[in-house]
Structure 1
């Protein structure tokens, strides 16, 4: 299956471990040498009437992506692991 980067914006990213919706994909990290995707970047949650970001973006290593579905992307992350947040 081939998925366009723009299609990722419309998919829900769901953690298999706890069922949490993690937010929309806003960017991809791509290895310039191989051209392969190495991580998904998810937008930080918004607060204050949906205008101001409340935290840091989440970076999910490609190895943690387990399945692409019609409406969702399943990932396998330990809940509350702050190591996935971009500094």
Structure 2
């Protein structure tokens, strides 16, 4: 299956450990020398008053990505205590 990196931001990201929605893909880190994807940056998704970002973005290492599907990205990371 082929897809554009820009399409990742449209997919829901779900943690397989606890079933939590983690936010949309905001950015992708790529090693320019090897061309390998190193990690995905997920937007916190939370906002104060619907406008101001609240919380930190989450970086998920490529090794923790389990499946990129049509509508969902499945990751396996330990939940963050906030």
Output the TM-score relative to the length of structure 1: 0.86
* Two-structure CA RMSD over aligned residues (Å): 1.5
Aligned length: 82
Structure 1 residues without counterparts, runs of 5 or longer = 83-87
* 1:81–1:2 Cα change, 3 Å: farther
> What is the distance in 2 between the residues matched to 1:38 and 1:49?
33
> What is the distance in 1 between the residues matched to 2:12 and 2:50?
18
The residue aligned with 1:45 is: 45
User: 4+ residue runs of structure 1 moved beyond 4 angstroms?
Assistant: none
* 1:24–1:59 Cα change, 3 Å: same
Structure 2 residues without counterparts, runs of 5 or longer = none
